[in-house]
Amino acid sequence: MWPFKKHEEIDLKGQEVAWVDDNIFRNLDFPKFNPDSLIGRKGHGIYRRMMMDEQVKAVVKFRRDAITSRDWFFEIKGDRISDNEKETRINLANAIV
């Protein structure tokens, strides 16, 4: 039979042992998968044409504004921090937003 070399144990903790790369498909013109059935049937230009319609534009802006303009507030529970610290944190968060 063939003589086999005895393999030494290698400690792989904290080392990179695998990677993923899609170089095999880089030069090919594959479209990215999009689960949107409207784009599948009509193409990407359908959304540009839809945004020219005033009713569609109004609904899209209304939905966007309804989501982004929601009120928010902080409700700090517990007495782990002082009232002054609570006020400082709330003022800082309001200044950031």
In degrees rounded to 5, what are phi and psi of residue 91? -65, -40
- Say what the pLDDT of residue 22 is: 63
Domain count of the fold of the chain? 1
> Would you say residue 49 lies in a domain?
yes
List the domain range (segments joined by +) for residue 44.
36-70
* Cβ 60 vs Cβ 50: under 8 Å: no
Q: Is the pLDDT of residue 87 over 80?
A: yes
Higher pLDDT, 73 or 85: 85
The pTM of the full predicted model, rounded to 2 decimals, is 0.36
Residue range 9-62, pLDDT digits in tens: 777 777 766 766 666 666 777 666 777 788 878 888 888 899 899 999 999 999
* Cβ 60 vs Cβ 51: under 8 Å: yes
> Would you say residue 9 lies in a domain?
no
Distances (CA, A) of 80 to 6, 75, 76, 84, 86: 60, 13, 10, 12, 10
